[in-house]
Structure 1
Amino acid sequence: MSHPDPTPRDPALAPLYSPARVRELLTRHGLKPTKSLGQNFLIDGNILRAIAEAGGAQPGVPVLEIGPGLGVLTQEIARRGAQVTTLEKDERLRPVLAETLDGLEVQVVWGDALNFDYASLPAGTRVIANLPYYITGLLLSRFMRAPGIVSATVLVQKEVAQRLAAKPGSDNYGFLSAIASLYGSVRHVRDVPKGAFFPAPDVTSSVVRLDFDRSRPAPEPEFLSFVETALHHRRKTLRNNLRLGGFEGEAIDEALAAAGLRGDVRAEDVALGDLRDMAVKLGVVR
């Protein structure tokens, strides 16, 4: 006995995340994914559901999305009852999003995500997004500094995910790891194969969730600059990095000794608490 084919023959009736539907939408609107904008559209329903679930998309929760593209992830989040604001730079997508988000409670803000006022977001906002790879680090630091954002569940390059979750002393540890732990915690959700996207990117991706602890005082800008200087050249010693940052050698040696650190210690091996002690000793922060 033959079974009917569960996939609709008409691509326009297929789920929005199916490759046939994505191609049909792009063709009908005369569009091609733009590499310079990091446009790789998700075409895996299981991963879409996993991102929305891990991100906390629930009824009444304010959610911010960056780069909705064709609205695939946007639809998944909005259908869970979240109050979605989504930022899109590519004006060519206006007619597509008008179609795919029709009838859903979604506010589309047209413009560059780097120019958006993240401080204006309501308390309890959760970011859920497939981030454009070329501005991932910049956007994550904006999310961390925005008091209303409590978490960011994002799709990023796998190597970025590894850096975010790295601890002092590990190969991937750097400034991104340090600021992530200064603002909160990082959890790896799952890896995402290249085939989950159209077109397939050159790299494997990962979903990570960052939770920001807003009960802690935010790190001072001076301390963040100090940490960035300390970790600027990964293969250099902490002493050399601080010398390049304009600190006097004798003062650095005294601060290292006071923190109980060797003179040749690499910055990536130093715990944040010890860097804090050095920053105090060097008069960067109180």
Structure 2
Amino acid sequence: MTDPSAVTAPTDPVPPLYSPARVRELLDRHGLRPTKSLGQNFLIDGNILRAIAAAGGAAPGVPVLEVGPGLGVLTREVASRGAQVTALEKDERLRAVLAETLADTDVTVVWGDALDFDYAALPAGTRVIANLPYYITGPLLSRFMAAPGIVSATVLVQKEVAGRLAARPGQDNYGFLSALAALHGTVTLVRDVPKGAFLPAPDVTSSVVRLDFDRERPLPDPALLAFVDAALHHRRKTLRNNLRLVGHAGEAIDAALEGAGLRPDVRAEDVSLADLEGVARQLNVIR
């Protein structure tokens, strides 16, 4: 005969942290609402969370940096794979939430503005895995590229930004961000993410993109970066006009273009990085 004291009443399983119902309950219980000014759109699709963690290289012992953990959903997925996670969070209202959702992990949460963080101090082999706040995507990517310890960044960004990162000279989306990524390494488009994968849904479609940085390559000369930025500032204009706008003399530009084997009327967006570097050398911007 079964001992009644040994029988427990069935209970409903706790929904996962990425369940919309669980996320709403968590937010309501802590009296929170996503803040649009901080770019808070919480990812609630388990398949996509797992795909991001896998694409980002989360594995036992790997140092991972996450920017904007929000409710800790992606954080938990990455930590569950054995990665050593450091998460940067600006919104102090989330302290109690992250204390709850990350209580059984060894994640280190650093409170403060991601734009003020010292990325150069990160250990060698660090991988960034993050759902980036859209309003500071560009500045953050620039910081990741310049940090010698970061070897890759697998991030959720606006689909338009992902397209710009992966674009090549001559393509419609090509610009300074494309050139900057190519100067530091390679870009891989992983997958698109529909609006319904977030709570609340953003106004735009997102994409997961992975940037791999070649750390055996020296960091680009700041003078070259400034030159490329100026050259591509109005990418549909001619390279000659763009260089005139930043003070280079017309005769010197003409000679530099000829020396690099470029037409006088070549548009900035059609010039390869190697040719831009050649023009910069001809103009004595770099040596």
Is the pair's TM-score, using the shorter chain for normalization, greater than 0.5?
yes
Distance in 2 separating the partners of 1:92 and 1:9: 31
Match of 1:143 in 2: 144
Q: Cα deviations across residues 13-58 of structure 1 (Å, max 9, x unaligned)?
A: 2100000000000000000000000000001000000000000000
Match of 2:66 in 1: 65
Residue 155 of structure 1: SS of its match in structure 2? strand
Match of 1:200 in 2: 201
Following superposition, the deviation at residue 217 of structure 1 comes to 1.2
Distance in 1 separating the partners of 2:264 and 2:224: 21
Distance in 2 separating the partners of 1:9 and 1:127: 38
Gaps of 5+ in 1: 1-7
Gaps of 5+ in 2: 1-9
Match of 2:176 in 1: 175
Alignment-mate amino acid for residue 206 of structure 2: S
Following superposition, the deviation at residue 9 of structure 1 comes to 8.3
Say whether residues 1:86 and 2:84 are aligned partners. Answer: no
Match of 1:40 in 2: 41
Match of 1:161 in 2: 162
Q: Cα deviations across residues 204-234 of structure 1 (Å, max 9, x unaligned)?
A: 0000000000011111000000000000012
Match of 1:132 in 2: 133
Q: Cα deviations across residues 117-169 of structure 1 (Å, max 9, x unaligned)?
A: 00000000000000000000100000000000000000000000000000000
Say whether residues 1:112 and 2:105 are aligned partners. Answer: no
Alignment-mate amino acid for residue 236 of structure 1: K
Sequence identity percentage = 80
Match of 1:211 in 2: 212
Alignment-mate amino acid for residue 255 of structure 2: E
C-alpha change, 1:240 and 1:40, in structure 2 (3 Å) is same
Match of 1:27 in 2: 28
Alignment-mate amino acid for residue 172 of structure 1: N
Alignment-mate amino acid for residue 280 of structure 1: R
**TM-score, normalised on structure 2?**
0.96
Larger Rg: 2
**TM-score, normalised on structure 1?**
0.96
C-alpha change, 1:247 and 1:10, in structure 2 (3 Å) is farther
C-alpha change, 1:9 and 1:268, in structure 2 (3 Å) is farther
Match of 1:187 in 2: 188
Distance in 1 separating the partners of 2:178 and 2:56: 20
